[in-house]
Amino acid sequence: MKNCVLLLLFVSLLTSCASLAKYPGIGRTKVYNYSHPQVPEAFDGFRIAFISDLHYPSKFGKKRLNSLVRALDALHPDLLLMGGDYQEGCEYVDELFSRLSEVHIPYGVAGVLGNNDYERCTDEIRMSMERHGMRVLEHRNDTVFKEDAFIIISGVRNPFDLKRNGVSPSNTLHEDDFVILLTHTPDYVEEADIRCADLALAGHTHGGQVSFLRLWTPETGSRYGRKLLTGKKTSSKGLPVIITNGLGTSRIKMRMCAPSEIVEIVLHRK
């Protein structure tokens, strides 16, 4: 009887955590339809791909990078946003951004840096991104134009240094603009002075990376535990935030019940 119960629990674990990956190494593409009255009509249906935490090459090596490039190609996003923690060594930086630059993205690529990127290879990352035509958003607002309308991507510099960066770059913008706040850690939406942002995108948590039946996660990567672990959440100030599981791994080179993912956000005018 005991063995049967253990077997049923094991099958339940496998079933609840199963990920049917079309592209090897990419657990899933998770799609969010996001409606807001300030989305311009020209951007209704605009598709944004969001990737983060590659930690290249860690568990996310060359074969998985090839899968990511193919997956992004097939997705045909209008804009690609990146949430930082790109590398596990300076020698891998240019190879990573060179491959990602092969994907045709009509409205370009923009990204922020993560805590790992501020610990090492910071200048190499900035220079490589710029060399491959990617916009580095460190406390900088980037305007994306379509026809006679625009949206704004507001990128946060090192969100762990609140003494220097605790006031969001979105605060300089107009309340009527549609603004996406791009930050490496979701904790920033709770701890910083944020105004004029309509949606935040974050990574860093890896979705816990290892979770048991999605009920218990030993390490969340967030000071707020499961509140800001993964998926679409809302800050205590009412700001919607989408948190990705990311693509690579950190510390433990494994995932369980927290599949790697590409996030796609489809904008709609409400």
How far is residue 9's CA from residue 4's CA, in Å, rounded to a whole number? 9
Per-residue pLDDT of 71-86, as tens digits, reads 999 999 999 999 999 9
Higher pLDDT, 59 or 50: 50
How far is residue 41's CA from residue 131's CA, in Å, rounded to a whole number? 33
How far is residue 12's CA from residue 125's CA, in Å, rounded to a whole number? 42
* pTM reported for the whole predicted model: 0.91
Beta bridge partners of 169: none
Q: Is the pLDDT reported for residue 139 higher than 60?
A: yes
Which residue in 202, 186, 203, 208 sits closest to 255, CA to CA? Answer: 208
Per-residue pLDDT of 7-49, as tens digits, reads 434 444 444 454 446 888 899 999 999 999 999 999 999 999 9
Per-residue pLDDT of 212-224, as tens digits, reads 655 555 565 778 8
Q: Is the pLDDT reported for residue 1 higher than 60?
A: no
- The chain-wide mean pLDDT, for the chain, equals 89
Q: Is the pLDDT reported for residue 163 higher than 80?
A: yes
Beta carbons of 107 and 78 less than 8 angstroms apart: yes
Mean pLDDT of 57-78: 93
Domains of the chain in start order, with CATH, are: 21-269 (3.60.21.10)
The predicted pLDDT at position 9 comes to: 44
* Amino acid (one-letter) located at 181: L
239: how many CB neighbours lie within 10 A of its CB?
17
Per-residue pLDDT of 101-115, as tens digits, reads 999 999 999 999 999
